[in-house]
Chains A and B, each alone.
Chain A
Amino acid sequence: MMHLHLTHRMIFIVLFYSLSFSAQNPRVLLHLVNAKLSKAKTYSVDVEIKVDLPYITLQPIQSKLYVKDHKRFKLDTKRIAVLPKQGFLQFNTLLTDSIHYTALFQAFEIIKSVKTVVINVIPNSDTGDVILAKLWIDAINQVVVKTQITTKSSGTVKTEYQYGSQTAYGLPDKIEFLVDVKKFKIPKALSADINTSGTAKTQKKTGVIQVLLKNYAININVNDSFFNSDKKN
């Protein structure tokens, strides 16, 4: 019994110090997360995209998403889909670029019963698009649970990730984007309405884009040329 008690103590101490260590060196944690993600260089996944945004009416669509090296992605569909402009790969740059960004430990936070390390990622200069990024990392599983990225062009986008079948590769089963829509303005001259005067009714200022991912195919072979075609046409 004393042996077991000692083992528990050792584990606690190791965890405590590893967490503390990580807290003191957030860049290490980010690298660990990145290392996990790097196991899946190229993958495809079936996605269902549901949009609940003010000013936009769009039915859920099913498609196939291809990702290569966590830098390039393509939604293989003729259907019209809406994603945040930042995409969902932006935080990958923040994970690996230690030259242009500085990672700082902020705090610990519990999100849905998961203890996360909150890391602020700050650009070293103000010339880039990113103003500030905040990452909530599950240190135990070494996955990103939540991000909040503020950019000059798109404002603030909060993203939440849920994991399941592909936690080993750091690939989520569900992503929810909370999008800031304050900037939407409708060009009335182009609108296809009849006999309608007046302004649009007041809408909420944020919206949600939910992406469900399943049936991952990990480390498939996809040519670079596949990602080169014009997405809109």
Chain B
Amino acid sequence: MNHAKKIVEVKHLVKYYGKFCAVSDVSFDVYENDVFGFLGPNGAGKSTTLRMLLSLIKPTHGTIALFEKSLSDHRSAILSKVGCIVEKPDFYKYLSAQKNLEVFARISGIGISKTKIAELLEFVGLQGRANDKVSGFSHGMKQRLGIAQTLLHDPDLIILDEPTTGLDPQGIIDVRNLILQLKHEKRKTVILSSHILSEIERIANRMIIINKGKTVVQGNVADLVSSSALIVTFNLTPVDKALEVLQHSNFSACKTLVNNASLTLQTHADAIAQINAMFCSNDIQVSGIEVKRQLEDYFLQQVQSYAN
């Protein structure tokens, strides 16, 4: 039970476009200081859900509450505390970086000085391009400008939709570090949607996976991942004997992948020692054991199992 303050509460969210159901009964909660991972394959309904959170799209059914207030009734007050990047960050191409930020700062609800804007541009590494038109910016520079725009009014909730798309490895690291900094130093709450699942695993503490508009699973990243099967690779010889031993054991139901000199199977942590002892007692030489706890596998597994 999470005793932190609930920043986002989504209940039974539904969105129909005509007869097509884009989001079907999605519910989740985001608590204060969470980095909340939003995962799902393409077309799962992630962007639609996030846009509903930001009042860009009106839900067909369901309720959305941010900061314990109904979004539909307190939209302006809520959005004054929210910063976001939706899809790729787009700006007015005919305006400079500085002017773009001034335009958005002016309507962000609080007074934001030009000094603050300059500081933000320096923070994202664009201080030298402040007076250049955005039309000449690369994708990475626009992404950084987008992050600066998100932080203009020092929001309490930051929603980032695929923030590392198109960034180079250093850029990805910078965004990751920024999010961690926002969480730990500034005590911000972040909702992060991404396809780079390793990033979610590293950054997020809670997550939801949706597919075909429905919630597949949600909870703490650590709990979800630990409750899943491990991918264990036994480097051993002879492989065929090991396979035969396995198939005559209590672990015959485990999914198995056979290679020349290894056997990979899905099992739980407490089964590893038992399996190893079983191989050893059957004169199978085990030269190494590799354990992988991958969110990507978990994600794919959950999505595929849901699809089945």
A contacts B: CB pair < 8 Å: no
